[in-house]
Amino acid sequence: TGVDGRDDVVSHALAREEELRVETLRSEGCAIALVSGHAEIFGSELARGQSVKIGGGKKVAVFTFHGATIEITGKVEIAYVAGETPMVSYANAHAVLNAKRERAGAAGSSEEGPRVMCVGPTDVGKSTVCSILCNYAARSGQAPLYVDLDLGQGALTVPGTICAAPVDAQIDLEEGIPLEMPLVYFYGDLTVNNPEYYKHIVTRLGALLDERSKANDDARAAGCVVNTMGWIDGMGLELLLHAREALKIDHVLVIGQERLYGQLQQKLAGTDCQVFRMQKSGGVVERTQEFRRATRDRMFKEYFYGPTGELAPASQTAYFSQISLYRIGGGPRAPASALPIGQTASTDPMRIAPVVPSTSLLHSVLAVSHGKTQGDLLNSNVAGFIYITEVDMIQKKFTYLSPCPGELPSNVLLVGNLKWLGLDN
């Protein structure tokens, strides 16, 4: 019998360099246990005899370099063993990066460690490769910074943000990346309609990376691993190239698209940035719009209720008079494609516009800014998020959920276009 004495257990024997791909049911998760040998899930090593719970609606791969026996407890959508994976090439990429980390960390060195960026179209496994590289680095005693520039399917905190967090231990398979000190910037939307503002926060992040590496030798040597959006044409490519420069990336890993690889090689010729092509794993599953929406909802839920639903967020009220609401970019703009040819939108992309409270804030996720003055807002990261559950226009107050009880750390809130329908949807 398996976990909790259950008898719905299936055992899988893996030979060297094979992986067991598991898709859980949407409605329930499963438990995965390593019975013998060595195995890892996206670079996080499994401890023998211990079982890991994988939530509903997830897709994972249990890989082994030398062979292992794995047990799955619970019903799953599908579980199969695959012999062909790009894991050895990912491990080789890690070895190249780690050699650079070691050089940079040697006594007396002032070299920068590797700054890596994974790029490619949607659903090629960019976030997964970033996790694998961070886990391998953490397992060899390094603590790289995981930077997520993906607004729609970011791995660190709520969607609509750009953020960074150090990974100093392998990523916990149940709880995700520990976020004791994440650095979060609020963009406020799932897609980039305001490229200037997006670039502005990426540039800010770049300046902070430099400060961090000046202040701390270990951080300098460990470098960073950057996940990006799957938008790779036109403005998407421009944003990638901008991020490459702003974050001083020296290794670009292109996953799963030769065209993008060719384009980047040409554009980056003559710079000291190396472009590598990485194979896409056959295990990466294409996700539907509906699946992506469900993943985003889960990220919001996890933020307010904890990864395993263990938090009870506090419901609080605030009077309109107690808080200041702002929107960056002066409100939703018509996309350029909707304007007559030759005209550009007149709104200043960096304008900070006060927002008058109204019922349209219902179900919005707002950011609590660290900015003290209106002028600070463009450059400040955020302390966290609140979720508006009620707007009372008569008493001029709203009710909100916050993961922390007590007063908000600041009364300056940023409004974007992030909506979540809450637990009931």
Query: How near is the Cβ of 253 to ligand ATP at its closest, in Å?
Result: 12
Q: Which is nearer to ligand ATP, 12 or 21 (CB)?
A: 21
Coil vs helix vs strand at 295: helix
Q: Which is nearer to ligand ATP, 91 or 285 (CB)?
A: 285
Query: How near is the Cβ of 148 to ligand ATP at its closest, in Å?
Result: 9
Q: How many residues bind ligand ATP (CB under 6 A)?
A: 18
Which 61-80 positions form the footprint of ligand ATP (CB under 6 A)? 61
Q: Which is nearer to ligand ATP, 85 or 213 (CB)?
A: 85
Coil vs helix vs strand at 360: helix
**In angstroms, rounded to a whole number, what is the distance separating the alpha carbons of residues 255 and 252?**
10
Measuring CA to CA, how many Å separate 280 from each of 87, 126, 317? 10, 9, 48
The contact pattern for ligand ATP, residues 349-388, with x = CB under 6 A and - = no contact, is: ----------------------------------------
Across 132-188, where does the E strand assignment appear?
145-148, 161-166, 183-186
- Phi-psi map region of 17: left, alpha, beta (phi>0 left; psi -120 to 50 alpha): left
Query: How near is the Cβ of 280 to ligand ATP at its closest, in Å?
Result: 8
Query: How near is the Cβ of 123 to ligand ATP at its closest, in Å?
Result: 5
**In angstroms, rounded to a whole number, what is the distance separating the alpha carbons of residues 231 and 193?**
12
Strand order in the sheet with 224-227: 183-186, 161-166, 145-148, 224-227, 115-119, 251-255, 274-278
Q: Which is nearer to ligand ATP, 63 or 400 (CB)?
A: 63
**In angstroms, rounded to a whole number, what is the distance separating the alpha carbons of residues 197 and 349?**
6
Neighbours of 30 (CB within 10 A): 27
The contact pattern for ligand ATP, residues 283-312, with x = CB under 6 A and - = no contact, is: xxx---------------------------
Which 10-39 positions form the footprint of ligand ATP (CB under 6 A)? 21
Query: How near is the Cβ of 286 to ligand ATP at its closest, in Å?
Result: 8
**In angstroms, rounded to a whole number, what is the distance separating the alpha carbons of residues 408 and 406?**
7
Task: Kindly state the tokens that stand for 153.
Answer: 């399917």
Answer for the pair 109, 103: CB distance below 8 angstroms, yes or no.
Answer: yes
**In angstroms, rounded to a whole number, what is the distance separating the alpha carbons of residues 142 and 116?**
14
Given the rule CB under 6 A, which of 263-271, 280-288, 358-366, 415-423 is the region that contacts ligand ATP? 280-288
- Of 422, 191, 192, 411, whose CA–CA distance to 321 is shortest? 411
User: Which DSSP symbol is given to 361?
Assistant: G
- Residues facing residue 38 across a β-bridge: none
Nearest residue to ligand ATP by CB is 283
Question: What angle do helix axes 235-246 and 258-267 make, rounded to 10 degrees?
Answer: 50
Spatial neighbors of 343 by CB under 8 A, at least 6 apart, are none
Query: How near is the Cβ of 165 to ligand ATP at its closest, in Å?
Result: 17
Given the rule CB under 6 A, which of 33-41, 69-77, 282-290, 396-404 is the region that contacts ligand ATP? 282-290
Given the rule CB under 6 A, which of 57-65, 236-244, 375-383, 415-423 is the region that contacts ligand ATP? 57-65
Query: How near is the Cβ of 80 to ligand ATP at its closest, in Å?
Result: 10
Query: How near is the Cβ of 50 to ligand ATP at its closest, in Å?
Result: 21
Given the rule CB under 6 A, which of 56-64, 270-278, 318-326, 354-362 is the region that contacts ligand ATP? 56-64
**In angstroms, rounded to a whole number, what is the distance separating the alpha carbons of residues 219 and 217?**
5
Which 109-148 positions form the footprint of ligand ATP (CB under 6 A)? 122-128
**Under the criterion CB under 6 A, does residue 230 sit at the interface with ligand ATP?**
yes
Query: How near is the Cβ of 345 to ligand ATP at its closest, in Å?
Result: 27
Query: How near is the Cβ of 28 to ligand ATP at its closest, in Å?
Result: 17
Answer for the pair 148, 154: CB distance below 8 angstroms, yes or no.
Answer: yes
Q: Which is nearer to ligand ATP, 65 or 320 (CB)?
A: 65
Among 73, 135, 281, 369, binds ligand ATP (CB under 6 A): 281
Q: Which is nearer to ligand ATP, 80 or 319 (CB)?
A: 80
Instruction: List residues binding ligand ATP (CB under 6 A).
Output: 21, 59-61, 122-128, 150, 153, 230, 281, 283-285
